[in-house]
């Protein structure tokens, strides 16, 4: 997916959520992360726009599970909290965590194992 499309969806999410979209913070195989600022409170957050729906839904579900379990850190790594999401735009808004931090859950599997062939799993 091209960057203009990701930027368009991030901008649309921010407009709906009353956020001002900031500069890109990072990118990877699952999507791109931008900074955002709440226009009324000046609070900061990060907005991750996903390239594919399956990565979005995986990451969204992990953040929901972490919130249900009250997880704020894993070992000594901070875990951001999900502040909002949009299932149509494939966007997750999260708190900005201080390093060291765990940021990417789009490749995680919660309750079902990955559907890789047995020989791949054996390796």
Mean pLDDT of residues grouped by 10 in the chain (123 residues)?
A: 88 96 90 92 92 93 94 87 97 86 65 73 71
pLDDT at position 37, please? 96
Give me 66's structure tokens.
């972490």
Q: Among all chains, which residue has been given the structure tokens 């990877």?
A: 28
pLDDT at position 57, please? 94
pLDDT at position 102, please? 59
pLDDT at position 121, please? 66
Q: Is 42 left (phi over 0), alpha (psi -120 to 50) or beta?
A: left
3-class secondary structure per residue, the chain: CCHHHHHHHHHHHHHHHCEEEEEEEEECCCEEEEEEEECCCCCEEEEEEECCHHHHHHHHHHHHHHHHHCCCEECCEECCCEEEEECCCCEEEECCCCCCECCCCCCCCCCCCCCCCHHHHHC
Domains of the chain (ranges, CATH numbers): 3-102 (3.30.200.20)
pLDDT at position 17, please? 95
């Amino acid at each position: 997916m091209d960057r203009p499309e990701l930027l368009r969806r991030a901008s649309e999410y921010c407009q709906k959520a009353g956020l001002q979209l900031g500069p890109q913070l990072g990118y990877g195989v699952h999507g791109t992360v931008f900074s955002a600022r709440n226009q009324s409170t000046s609070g900061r957050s990060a907005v991750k726009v996903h390239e594919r729906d399956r990565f979005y839904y995986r990451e969204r579900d992990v953040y929901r599970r972490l919130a249900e379990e009250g997880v704020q850190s894993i070992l000594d790594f901070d875990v951001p909290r999900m502040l909002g999401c949009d299932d149509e735009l494939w966007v997750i808004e999260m708190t900005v965590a201080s390093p060291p931090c765990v940021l990417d859950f789009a490749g995680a599997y919660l309750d079902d194992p990955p559907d890789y062939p047995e020989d791949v799993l054996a390796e």
